[in-house]
Every structure is written in structure tokens, then in C-alpha cells.
Amino acid sequence: MQSMFDDRLWLAWLVKVRIIILTFLLAIELLIARLTPSPLPVWLFVTTILLWYAISVFYLLLLSFWQEHRLQCLLQVLTDLALVTLVVYITGGVDSSLNVLYPLVIIVACMLLPRSWAYLTAALAFILYGMVLELTYFGLVPSYSTTRPGLGALQAIILINLFAYLAVAYLTGLLAAKLRQVDVKLRYTSGALEDLQALHENIIQAISGGLITTALDGHITLVNAAAQKQLERPEEELLGQPIQQVFLDPLPQVGSERAHGEVRFVAPNTFRRTFRVMVSPLTVSEQETVGYVYTFDDLTEMRRLEREVRMQDRLAAVGRLAAAIAHEIRNPLTSIAGSVSMLSGIPDLSPEHRQLLQIVTRESERLNSIITDFLAYSRGKQYRFSRVDLLLLLEDTLTLLQHRLVTENTGIRIERRYAPKQAFTLADGDKIKQVFWNFCENAVRAMKDGGTLAISVETIGDDWQISFADTGPGISPQLTEKIFEPFQSQFEGGTGLGLAIVYQIVQAHEGKVWARSKPGQGSVFVLRLRRSSADESAGVTRTVLAGHTRPAPEAASATVGAGGRAHG
């Protein structure tokens, strides 16, 4: 906070006020001289005022490059005393009403100089004023007054002004001393308040959780750094916006049972996040509520891990169930298929009977296909890891797919959007091809009336990100959340194990896979695999059983690559 007794500011203010007062004096005296007969020497008065103007401008310029402000204060006070004395003499001495300028100079001296200088200024004002009256009274200098008081009256006027000047100096000195004390206390209090505000601001900005404050109408008034980072939006964009428009779900309400809860948020990169939000009233010392405080934490990763744990448990349970019943179903199914085959060889069967036998044969084959998927899902899988180029694996898959699309005339167009020229990773090439083919197959089945399948490869940190985006009808949010769980299929005749196997393969590669979709806007399946350096090992084997990973006997000493992820 700027001190109220800043000498430089006061000097600048003094010059400006002086110019204003001089302008009024010049205008009033010239008007009086024109309207009434007066012995006022106009030319001398105007010259004195112009000189005073020039000195004021000089002091204003001097202020910009001379830093001795206290000495400037003294010079200006002495100059004002001299020029006030000259103006009082010109305007009639004892008849002049401008002797009121002396108290103004004394007040300025009290404000700008130490208290002893205020009394000295009052004494100088008394001496100068008395000197003017005495010199004009005894005719030592020409007099411009119209009256001539007696010697006693003259002495009385001088004494009255003496007491007046001393009284002004005393009272103004007391007031200035009080003001200086208040100024010191104010500066101290202001400094303490600024320190406290800085401390509070630093604490708010240092909080790891997001914090937003709003007014009573719900408009945002403050956003800390953690909230800006979690919401991926700058403070300028959030301030003044209704907080209800930031999140998808209704926020908790103060004073209700629902003072905390979870809400969803869509980031600018279209990823959906989950926040735990708590709200409390923002009150002042008088317990008056002036707004609300919202604190929140990002639970997205926690909820994702919870879903993965639940999925792993389900996958393990399905694997155990499949392993237990698959063989028991396949044996009688083989007998049924054989018996039906023998029955179909009877020559005298009616067409109706033959149609029934064909239905039994077709459904048996479909059931056998489902059991085969069960066994493929539940059996332990051997992975032979080597350093492979994902772009070559993609091209092998897309070449086969493109020939099929042309043959079947599906009207589906494939777009390749490869940012890198090579994309090496440590993986089982055949299993990754199976993942690619499953994504492509689902996209083709979703686009029954044709469309575009866009495959993009880009670098995200230490990973390769491969995206398969189709222009199909999209997937509902409910199905998107559990699409990698078994038996979650939206296609007629599907077993719902394809993407579960994909998830199993990706887990074995310690990668990530997820789906993004909106009904009517297509779907995107995203796969992330770790980038491989040239010195990473190859020929490592890993066995996966029913969603759980364990080293194979011949690869018990698996190597660990950069970043601490096991590659064996």
C-alpha cells in the first residue's frame, strides 16, 4: 500500500493545487480591478502570478529527476512564503484579503516537513506579513492600500495574525502527527494483511485437490491450479461461468444429505472423467454465507482399476467354468452330431424330417463353435515375444481385409493414418494380428451399409497408440463400459468372447485397450503398446491362463525392459 505521506506524491499534488489557486486568484483580482476602482497595479500583479506559474512548472520538472524530496519541500515552502508576501503587498497590504494564503502555506509545511519547521514557517509568515505592514505604514515602500489604520490598530492586526499563524501551526501539527501515526499503523496492518492473503493464496494454490469457489448464484469466483489441471481449462475460461455447466451431473447441495457425491466431466480431449465432489458453505466471521466451496478429486483411474479388477475376476470365473464344462458338453455333442449324420443317410426320410436334421446339424456346429471359443478363452496361451513392427502387422491384416471387402462389395473404405514410418514393440506378432483382425471384423459388421474404417498410429509418451475408428451406428454407454467382458455382444449370432480374448491378449502384453463411442457417431477402439528400443530382448515366452499371467517354465527368468515392465 502507498503511504499517505509519500513526499513525491504530495509535492506533485502541491504543484497542481497551487496552479489551480493561482488561476482563481488571477481571474478574481482581474475581475475586481475591472469592475471597481482599485489602486491594484495590474501589470505587477499579473507578472507576479506568471512568475509563480513558471516556478511551479519548474518544480514539477525538477521532481522528475531530483530525488531530494525533503529539500524540495523546504524550497517550495520558502518560495510560497516569499511570493505570498509579494502578492499581499501588491493587493494592498493591510487591505489585502490574500493574507489567508499564509495559513495555507503553514498547513503545507506541517504536512511535508517536521513539526519544528511548521512553527518556523508560522514565524516567518508573521515576520514577512508584519514587515509588509510596517514598511507600507511608515512609507518606506509605495503603498497600494486605500485605508490607513492607526499604529495601535496596525499592531493589533499583526498580533492577531501571529496568534492565528501559531494556532494553525499547532493544530495542523497535531493533526499531521496523528495522521502519521495512523499511516504507520495502516501500513503495518496492510503489510500483515497482504502477507496473510499471500499465505492463503499459496495454500489454496498448493492444495493437490481441485478447489472452486462460487458466489451465491453459482458463478465461479476462484479456481486453484489443481482444478485447472484436472479440468484442462484455464482460469480465464472458468471464471464467471455457472459451475453447473462445467459437469454433466447435478452437483451436491449444501445442507442436504447429499453434500458429497460423484459427477462426470467431459474433458476437451473428449475423455470422460469421474470426480468426487464435496461442497460446503463459504461464510464470513458473522456466519453469513457469501458463497460455496467445491473440492473435488479425480477418481477416473481408481474407477478404471476397479472395473479392471472386477473384469479380471469375471474372466477368471468364466475361464474356470469354461474349462470345467467344455469337455463335458463336447463329448455328447459329438455323439449327437454322429447320430444325426447317420440318420441323414436313411433314404426314405421325408423332406420335413431332412429339414429338421439339417437344423440339428447346423445348431450343433454353432454350439461346437461356441465351445471352441470357450476352450480358446480358458486354455493357457503361449506367447512368443519378439521385436516386431506394428505397421507391418497392420498391413498384413488390412491387406486380407481389403481383399475380402472388395470380394463381398461391402462399400467400406479403409483409411491409413500412420504418423511414424516404423513402430517397433516387443510382442507376439500372431496374437497382435488377432487383436487387429477382431477390431476390423467388429467394425465391418457394424457398418452394414458401408462406411469408412480409419486406422491411425501415433506416439503417446513411451507408447504406440493404434486407433480403429468406424462410421457405424455406435455403441450405447452401458455396453461401452463392459464391452471387454465375456458375453457382451451386440451382433446377432456373436458369442461375446472376441473382445474378451482381445482384452486377455492385451493384458498379457501389459498394454491398454479401451473403447469410445456415442450412439450415431461411430466407435473407436484404442490400443496402446509400449515402444521398443533396439536393445530389448526377444524370444521370450509367457503363458496366460483364464485372464491371469504367469511365466512359462522355459521363461521363468523373464527380462524387464525400460520403465520396469516385465517382458517375459
CATH number at residue 359: 1.20.58
Compute, in degrees rounded to 10, the torsion defined by CA atoms 399, 402, 404, 407.
-130
Residues 48 and 172 in one domain: yes
Map residue 562 onto helix, strand or coil: coil
Rounded Cα gap, residues 244 and 214, in angstroms: 11
* Percent of the chain clearing pLDDT 90 (strictly above): 10
Residue 43 lies in a domain: yes
Task: Give the pLDDT confidence score for residue 380 in this predicted structure.
Answer: 58
State the CATH number of the domain containing residue 521: 3.30.565.10
Co-location of 429 and 497 in the same domain:
yes
Tens of pLDDT, residue by residue over 227-244, are 888 888 888 888 888 888
Query: Is 568 contained in some domain?
Result: no
The enclosing domain of 270 has a CATH number of 3.30.450.20
The verdict on 345 and 389 lying in the same domain is: no
Co-location of 416 and 356 in the same domain: no
Q: Is residue 234 part of a domain?
A: yes
pLDDT in tens, 186-210: 877 777 777 777 777 778 887 888 8
Average pLDDT in the 273-296 region?
83
Exposed, middle or buried: residue 241 (CB in 10 Å: 0-12, 13-18, 19+)?
middle
Do residues 155 and 60 both lie within one domain?
yes
Domain boundary, last residue among 342, 376, 410: 376
pLDDT band for position 4 (cuts 50, 70, 90): very low
Task: State in Å, rounded, how far the first CA of the chain is from the last one.
Answer: 66
Q: Which domain holds residue 257?
A: 207-298
338-347 contacts, C-beta under 8 A, 24 or more apart: 340/364
**Domain-located, residue 394:** yes
Condensed to tens digits (0 to 9), the pLDDT of residues 405-431 reads: 888 888 899 999 999 989 999 999 988
Q: What is the pLDDT of residues 10-33, one digit of tens each?
A: 677 777 777 788 787 778 777 777
The DSSP bridge partners found for residue 222 are: 213
Question: What's the rounded Cα separation, in Å, for the pair 32 and 372?
Answer: 119
pLDDT beyond 60 at 561: no
Residue that wins the pLDDT comparison between 424 and 150:
424
Question: End of a domain among 131, 155, 188?
Answer: 188
Give the span between the Cα atoms of 408 and 431, in whole angstroms. 26
Question: What pLDDT score does 538 carry?
Answer: 52
Regarding whether 341 and 288 lie in a shared domain, the answer is: no
| pLDDT > 90? residue 106 | no
10 Å CB burial of residue 413 (0-12, 13-18, 19+) is middle
For the chain, give the percent of residues with pLDDT over 70.
Answer: 84
Q: Is the pLDDT of residue 391 over 90?
A: yes
134/277 same-domain check:
no
How many domains does the chain divide into?
4
Range among 40-49, 294-303, 328-337, 541-550 rated most confident: 294-303
Q: What is the pLDDT of residue 177?
A: 80
- What does the angle CA 476 – CA 480 – CA 486 come to, to the nearest 5 degrees? 120
CA–CA dist 528, 514 (Å, integer): 9
Give CA separation, 127 vs 59, 80, 102, 132, 169, in Å. 25, 14, 11, 9, 15
Q: If pLDDT is split at 50, 70 and 90, which confidence band does 547 have?
A: very low
Residue 25 sits in the same domain as residue 90: yes
Place 377 in a pLDDT band, splitting at 50, 70 and 90. Answer: low
Residue 187 and residue 181: Cα distance in Å, rounded? 10
Q: Specify the range with the lowest mean pLDDT, choosing from 46-60, 79-93, 359-373.
A: 359-373
> Across residues 289-314, what is the average pLDDT?
82
Do 35 and 146 reside in the same domain of the chain?
Answer: yes
- What is d(CA 254, CA 294) in angstroms, rounded to the nearest whole number? 10
Residues 136 and 223 both lie in one domain: no
Question: Which residues are CB-neighbours of 189 under 8 A, at least 6 positions away?
Answer: none
**pLDDT at site 454:** 93
Report if residue 563 sits inside a domain.
no
Residue ending a domain, choose from 298, 324, 359: 298
Q: What pLDDT is recorded for position 534?
A: 62
Closest among 152, 119, 149 to 136, alpha carbons compared? 149
Amino acid at 32: I
| pLDDT on residue 529 | 94
* Nine cell digits for residue 362: 447346423
Predicted TM-score (pTM) of the model is 0.45
- 453 near 443, Cβ under 8 Å? yes
Mean pLDDT of the chain: 79
**Position 29 in a domain:** yes
Residue 402 lies in a domain: yes
pLDDT exceeds cutoff 80 at 560: no
Q: In terms of domains, do 175 and 218 share one?
A: no
Region class of 60: left (phi > 0), else alpha (psi between -120 and 50), else beta:
alpha
Q: SS3 helix, strand, coil % of the chain, rounded to 5?
A: 55, 20, 25
Mean pLDDT across the stretch 521-546? 71
Q: Is residue 408 part of a domain?
A: yes
**pLDDT of 526 above 60:** yes
Confidence check: pLDDT of 292 > 60: yes
- Claim to verify: residue 388 and residue 360 sit in the same structural domain: no
pLDDT beyond 50 at 556: no
- Average pLDDT, stretch 359-380? 72
Q: Output the pLDDT for position 324.
A: 67
